[in-house]
Amino acid sequence: MAEIGKSTMGWLFGFKLHLLCNERGELVNFCLTKGNVDDRNQKVFSVLSKNLFGKLYADKGYISASLFEMLFNKGIHLVTGIKKNMKNRLMSV
């Protein structure tokens, strides 16, 4: 069941736990995936963003035009930082 995957911290063998918390740090939703599943996987975000609206704050690792578009179509605004090599601009839909 467990798989080999790579993260920003290096290689791992096991699972990834994806958590969604509200502004008070309370757990809203979670998803457990194999270690080789991309953090920006749309199926994972479909599960996490169920019954969610408004703004979703995430780190730079979640920058993806297709993910932004999927969430935007559900009424969710994905807010991330920018990477060092990026220009500070809005993502087009």
Tens of pLDDT, residues 49-63: 888 899 999 888 888
Rounded Cα gap, residues 87 and 79, in angstroms: 15
Show the tokens assigned to 93.
């839909």
pLDDT score of 8 more than 80:
no
Tens of pLDDT, residues 9-50: 788 788 989 999 988 999 999 999 988 888 888 899 888 888
- Return the SS3 of 71: helix
Show the tokens assigned to 45.
């975000």
Buried b (16+ CB within 10 A) or exposed e, 34-69: ebebebebeebbeebbeebeeebebeeebbbeebbe
pLDDT score of 89 more than 70:
no
